[in-house]
Amino acid sequence: MHLVPQVNSDVTIKDIAARCGISSATISRVLNHPEIVRPELRERVHAILAEAGYVPHGAARSLASRRTRTMGAVVPTVDSALFARIVDGLQQAIHDHGFQLLLASSNYSPAREAAEIRALIERGVDAMMLVGRSRSDEVYELLRAKRIPFVATCLFEPEAPWPTVGWDNQAEAARVADYLLDIGHRRFGIIAGVTADNDRAADRVAGYRAALARRGVGLPEACVIEKPYTVPEGRAAMAALLRLPQPPTAVLCGNDILAFGALQECLWLSVRVPQEISIAGFDDIEMAAHCYPGITTLHVPAHEIGRRAATVLLDMIKKQPAPEHVRIDLQLIVRGTTAPPADSAQARVSAGGETRAPQPT
């Protein structure tokens, strides 16, 4: 028979104390401040603890100590390579400091985010990581009143009264547009994420639009399509753009998932990328480098963001310094989905009103 430590369901610190013939306060010390307990006693206690299969009672612990060594995170969705990696970075970093992570998702709904934040507060998290800036004053007030340190990520807003770790979505998006303008594109399409309640998505479109406007490049409203961040939605949006009488030569996407969907639609329709149409994404998720052709995009160091957020939060838990603002640098990664537009001769042909894009099946 396999030997397993005897675990009785409800061993408390008191039981252990009794078995050791010492007071429960010392057991608590062994658990929380081992350095102040005489080494040999400490060893003996550890042995009994292990033998008895003692598991601390978290609720009792945090009720008494008023700390939980737990952090919370509320992300729009965990089913996203970007957020999954950010959370992973956060998780690892706080883990090294003895903190646990409580994860919740809002599904891009401010109401649900508020509910989750509230739930995390009830559960007593010592700090929390949020994404973006779109939330009600009530939420900020609650956070302030309960004195919960928090950081907003995927955002860089040095004037904000709370810390931010991220970048300027509008400015960065403009860089991508500028790049495509630089290589000669003049007819653009945008496949944006859903902008309602999503400041990052809204900022990105705003950045794309601003860059085009600065160069005097027009953008018919039919060329701007807003879609949830999924592959099939990206495909559908690209299909719609290709159906236009005068399709764009370059498509700016709200993120890499939409860009990937757009690219796949082109493959399905035998529209050559980048010869006939260029596609750019945002985030540089793993797939962007490995699909064929590779997607031109902005690299967001997701893991680093999680780690930096952790640092900021740990700092805030220790002391209450002025809100830190960490600017994360993004890098433009040019891959196979972008190239200069087809020559002007060809452009003239399609300008004749005839679409050169194959019809969707």
**Interface residues with a second copy (CB under 8 A)?**
2, 4-5, 7-9, 53, 55-63, 68, 70, 77-79, 81, 84-85, 87-88, 91, 100-105, 118-119, 121-124, 137-138, 141-142, 144-147, 230-232, 235, 260-261, 264, 267-268, 286-287, 289-292
22 binds DNA (CB under 7 A): yes
334 binds, among DNA, a second copy, none (CB under 5 to 8 A by kind): none
> Which is nearer to DNA, 146 or 327 (by Cβ)?
146
- Shortest distance, CB of residue 19 to DNA, whole angstroms? 12
**Two structure tokens written together for 217:** 């490049």
How far is it, in rounded angstroms, from Cα 159 to Cα 161? Answer: 6
For residue 346, the partner it binds in a second copy, DNA, none, with Cβ less than 5 to 8 A by kind, is none
Q: Which does 160 bind (CB under 5 to 8 A by kind): DNA, a second copy, none?
A: none
**For residue 139, which phi and psi values (nearest 5 degrees)?**
-65, -45
| Coil, strand or helix at 81 | helix
| Close Cβ partners of 32 (under 8 Å, ≥ 6 residues apart) | none
- What lies within 8 Å, CB to CB, of 27 at 6+ separation is 13, 16, 17, 20, 45, 49
From DNA, a second copy, none, interface partner of 31 (C-beta below 5 to 8 A by class):
DNA
Smaller CB separation from DNA, 57 or 175: 57
26 binds DNA (CB under 7 A): yes
Q: Under the criterion CB under 7 A, does residue 348 sit at the interface with DNA? A: no
Give the shortest CB-7-to-a second copy separation in angstroms. 4
What CA–CA distances, in Å, run from 65 to 28, 72, 101, 257?
11, 18, 18, 44
Q: How far is the CB of 348 from a second copy (least distance, A)?
A: 30
Rounded distance between C-alpha atoms, residue 328 and residue 241, angstroms: 33
Nearer to a second copy, 2 or 348 (CB): 2
**What count of other Cβ atoms lies within 10 Å of the Cβ of residue 47?**
11
Task: Decide which of DNA, a second copy, none touches 23; Cβ closer than 5 to 8 Å per partner kind.
Answer: DNA
> Closer CB to a second copy, residue 24 or residue 346?
24
Q: Which CB atom, from 29 or from 303, has the smaller least distance to DNA?
A: 29
Do 296 and 280 contact (CB within 8 A), yes or no?
Answer: yes
Compose the 54-83 pattern: x for residues touching DNA by CB under 7 A, - for all others. Answer: x-xx--xx-xxxxx----------------
- Closest of 111, 117, 38 to residue 71, by C-alpha: 117
Alpha carbon distance 270, 250 (integer Å): 16
The residue among 99 and 208 lying less far from a second copy, judged by its C-beta, is: 99
Q: Strand 70-75 vs strand 100-105: parallel, antiparallel, or unpaired?
A: parallel
Among 10, 159, 343, 354, which residue sits at the site for DNA (rule: CB under 7 A)? 10
Indicate the residue among 261 and 274 with the shorter CB distance to a second copy.
Answer: 261
DSSP 296: B
Paired sense of beta strands 331-333 and 297-299, if any:
antiparallel
Site size toward DNA (CB under 7 A) is 28
- Angle at Cα 192 formed by Cα 188 and Cα 195, nearest 5°? 140
Contacts of 236 (CB under 8 A, 6+ apart): 227, 261, 265
Binding residue for DNA, selected from 19, 28, 142, 360, defined by CB under 7 A:
28
- Which listed option, DNA, a second copy, none, makes contact with residue 141 (CB within 5 to 8 Å by class)? a second copy
Residue with tokens 């007819």: 187
Residue number with CB closer to a second copy (9 or 322):
9
> Is residue 160 a contact residue for DNA (CB under 7 A)?
no
Q: How far apart are CA 89 and CA 120, in angstroms?
A: 20
Among 7, 25, 222, 349, binds DNA (CB under 7 A): 25
Q: Which residues of the shown chain bind DNA in the complex (CB under 7 A)?
A: 10, 12-14, 22-29, 31-32, 36-38, 41, 54, 56-57, 60-61, 63-67
